[in-house]
Amino acid sequence: MITSTNLIARYAETDAQGVVHHASYLVWFEEARSDFLRQRGLAYSDMERDGFFVMVTGVEVSYRAPAFFEDRITVETTLEKARSRMLEFSYKIRNQENRLLVEGRTRHLVVGADRKPHGLPKAVLDKLTPSSC
């Protein structure tokens, strides 16, 4: 499943030349990942309330072209892998001209309230994983 999240590059996310700072893309990954979950009927806040936390264990980013202040951004998010204790997402960020700006990937470990690895409940995994994941 691929979801799309739309954003506008904010002034605070840019440098003095109006170019989006490289770290801003990680924030956009996180926003798109949260939106992915909401579109699947889940929310981080509900998972955390139930004692499950999704911690980032790895990030890969390939910068292809810059984004600029007030660009209209679309982040395509795909859940590449979903296991009981591990999730992996990929991202493609494009501007309003459909130009590919960034490709990336994040890996996550699911932990419990004790911060030790813990499996997600089957009901959560079922919402996350269409038959192709």
Distance CA 131, CA 110 (A): 21
**Residue 83 CA to chain centroid, in angstroms?**
17
Are the C-beta atoms of residues 25 and 100 closer than 8 Å to each other?
Answer: no
Is the distance from CB of 19 to CB of 75 less than 8 angstroms? no
Catalytic residue annotation: 15
